[in-house]
Amino acid sequence: MARTLYFVAGEASADNHGAALMQALRALASDTVFAGRGGPRMKALAGDKFDNWIGRAGVLGLWEVIKQYGYFRRKFRETLHEIEQRKPDAVILIDYPGFNLRLARELRQRGTAGKIIYYISPQVWAWNRGRIKKMARWIDLMLCIFPFEAELYNRSGLHTVFVGHPMLERLRARKIDIQRDPGLVGLFPGSRAREVRKIMPLMLGAAAELRRANPDLRFEISAASPELAAQIRDLLGNRAPQFEVKIDNATALMQRAAAGIVASGSATLEAAYFRLPFVLVYKVAWLTYVAARLVVRVKFLGMPNVLADDEVVPEFIQHEARPAAIARAVLRLLNNRNAREHMLSQFDAIIGSLGEDGASNRAASAILDELA
């Protein structure tokens, strides 16, 4: 009998991971029916029973969520209603903890039938480890992508399987045989409009400082969508001749550029995978920053640094994100071979700790085993 799986993903990266998981599930159980909400790649596989909502759902930060509180409350009720109507064999929650952890708790309290499975485990170890024991009461299976998470969750009584990072299989397919351009610096301002608005001016200021130090440098900006590309071009104004904006070119640019400036997020781990020497920048609304400082319990923001437990990549966050300081760090990577090689050797160790390709297949197998 065909199984029905209801997915909830709220961001672009989760849409990528969710689509890969759907493909792996279909390969193992071809009659599986998909429903839920996520992004365009998941909808292309699931069909009409799927809602592409990430254009509005993919916000980041306390203030940004507060401004859309009514929207998220409405979507929460709609999701609960859909799950109770469809009665899926399992609800698959992908990352997106602000929404998905509340959904898991509400489903369990209502006694909704079906398994509750979490893929891409929420990083509660960074801000509220005490919540893990509560999560063990709501979630039947946790599928984690970082090796240290499995031990942490299992100790708290939450059944957990380490499947590896799905990024590896996607990025391996995007490797190209190309030489780095010593005069090219890549700029990666993020995948959300609010990120671009906050971070792109910092990157442009750093680029101006870099050109003062080396007028031969050129800059290529990776835009995650045509809409963000238009936003970036508006911010560029008459500086456009020194910059080239390209859409959906992040992985290629990470392999061509000599160095990069990368907004915090999944792109930092991708840059480490492609051995791009880079610095990390991030800036959010001050309310969001203050709230995060009160709860975050990790020393670093970038995942390469978290995994290494060391500042492998220089981090420039909020008031410390000044163009001159960012430019100095980039120049060191461009001009100091030892600094560059040391960073790259640490990248190799970090990526090696994530396991081998095949995370989506292992996750699919674990889900079907749980259902069996």
Domains 4-165+355-371 and 174-352 share a fold: yes
Structure-model confidence comparison of residues 95 and 272, the more confident one = 272
pLDDT > 90: percent of the chain: 66
Given this structure, which CATH class describes domain 174-352?
A: alpha beta
Model confidence at 289: pLDDT above 60: no
List the strands of the sheet with 218-223, edge to edge.
243-247, 218-223, 181-188, 257-263, 278-282, 315-317
Mean pLDDT of 358-367: 96
Mean pLDDT of 192-210: 92
The token pair that represents 263 in the structure block: 């907004």
Model confidence at 32: pLDDT above 90: yes
**What pLDDT is attached to residue 62?**
58
Mean pLDDT of 321-334: 96
**What pLDDT is attached to residue 158?**
86
Structure-model confidence comparison of residues 70 and 183, the more confident one = 183
**What pLDDT is attached to residue 305?**
94
Residue 200: how many other CB atoms lie within 10 Å: 21
Structure-model confidence comparison of residues 316 and 49, the more confident one = 316
Q: How far apart are CA 156 and CA 331, in angstroms?
A: 45
**What pLDDT is attached to residue 177?**
93
**What pLDDT is attached to residue 181?**
97
User: 212-248 pLDDT, tens per residue?
Assistant: 999 999 999 999 889 999 999 999 987 767 899 999 8
Which residue has 């919540």 as its token pair? Answer: 131
Confidence band for 1, pLDDT divided at 50, 70 and 90: low
Instruction: Spell out the domain ranges in the chain.
Output: 4-165+355-371, 174-352
Structure-model confidence comparison of residues 175 and 299, the more confident one = 175
Model confidence at 290: pLDDT above 80: no
CATH number listed for the domain at residues 4-165+355-371 = 3.40.50.2000
Model confidence at 284: pLDDT above 80: no
User: 124-147 pLDDT, tens per residue?
Assistant: 655 555 667 788 899 999 999 988
Q: What is the mean pLDDT of the chain?
A: 89
Q: What is the pTM of this model?
A: 0.80
Structure-model confidence comparison of residues 313 and 113, the more confident one = 313
Model confidence at 294: pLDDT above 60: no
**What pLDDT is attached to residue 54?**
82
Confidence band for 64, pLDDT divided at 50, 70 and 90: low
Confidence band for 195, pLDDT divided at 50, 70 and 90: confident
**What pLDDT is attached to residue 285?**
64
**What pLDDT is attached to residue 259?**
98
Model confidence at 93: pLDDT above 70: yes
**What pLDDT is attached to residue 293?**
56
Closest CA to 163 of 13, 362, 23: 362
Confidence band for 193, pLDDT divided at 50, 70 and 90: confident
Q: Residue 346 to residues 225, 253, 313: CA-CA distances in angstroms?
A: 31, 21, 10
**What pLDDT is attached to residue 150?**
83
Mean pLDDT of 274-297: 74
